[in-house]
Amino acid sequence: MTDALDAFDRKILNIVQRDCTATADAIADRIGLSTSAVQKRLKRMRTEKIISAEIAVVDRAAVGRPMTFIAAMEIERENYETVAKFREWSKAYDEIQQIYYVTGSVDLIAIITAPDVEAYDRLSARIMQSNPMIRRINTNVVLGSIKVGLFVPVEPDDEPPET
C-alpha cells in the first residue's frame, strides 16, 4: 500500500501524526501544495485506511489510571484459535490498550492500564477465567514511562531510513 504514497503524502503523514488537528491550510503552507490538494490527499488516505484513526491522547494519571502493566501470556500450544477468541473477548475491555501476538517464550503481550494493582488483579483473574486456554500470565509493572508513542516514521521516497 505504501507504493501508492508519493513524497507529498509522506510529508502529510509525518505532519498529521504529530498533530492531527493541523488544518489543510497549515499543511499546504508547510509542504508547498494547495489546500484543496492536501484535503483530497487526506480524504484518500482516510478512505484507504492509511490514516486509521485520529485520536486525543489522554494523560492516564489525570483520569485516575496511573498504572501500566505489561502482561505476557502463554496459551496452550495445541489451541491457537485462542488468539482469535481472546481478540474478540478483549474488545469489551478498554483497559486492555494493546495486544501483540509474538514469537518467543510467550504468545501474547498485552499493555493494560489500571487505577491500581487490585484492579489489574481483578482483570487478570477475569482473563484467566474467561479464556481457559491461556495457561499463564507473567506481569511486569511499569515503574516509569521513558517513551510512549505510536508515531510511524514515513521516510520520503528519495531518502533511505536512517541507520
**DSSP letter for each residue of 56-102:** PPPPTGGGT--EEEEEEEEE-TT-THHHHHHHHHHTT-TTEEEEEE-
Q: Just give the CATH number of 2-47.
A: 1.10.10.10
Residue 110 has a CB neighbour count (10 Å cut-off) of 23
The CATH 1.10.10.10 domain(s) of the chain lie at 2-47
What are residue 113's DSSP bridge partners? 68
Q: Does 163 score more than 70 pLDDT? A: no
Q: Does 70 score more than 80 pLDDT? A: yes
Instruction: Quote the CA–CA distance of 35 and 86 in Å, as a whole number.
Output: 44
pLDDT confidence bin for 78, thresholds 50/70/90: low
Options 1.10.8.60, 3.30.70.920, 3.40.50.300, 3.40.605.10; which CATH number does 61-141 get?
3.30.70.920
pLDDT of amino acid 104: 92
Instruction: Quote the CA–CA distance of 121 and 144 in Å, as a whole number.
Output: 20
- 125-138 pLDDT, tens digit per residue, is 999 999 999 999 99
Q: Does 162 score more than 90 pLDDT? A: no
Residue 122 has a CB neighbour count (10 Å cut-off) of 11
Q: For the chain, where are the alpha helices, taking DSSP H only? A: 7-18, 24-31, 35-47, 81-90, 117-130
pLDDT of amino acid 90: 97
Q: Which residue has the higher pLDDT, 106 or 158?
A: 106
Instruction: Quote the CA–CA distance of 147 and 24 in Å, as a whole number.
Output: 29
pLDDT of amino acid 59: 93
pLDDT confidence bin for 76, thresholds 50/70/90: confident
Q: Which has the minimum average pLDDT: 4-18, 49-63, 71-85?
A: 71-85
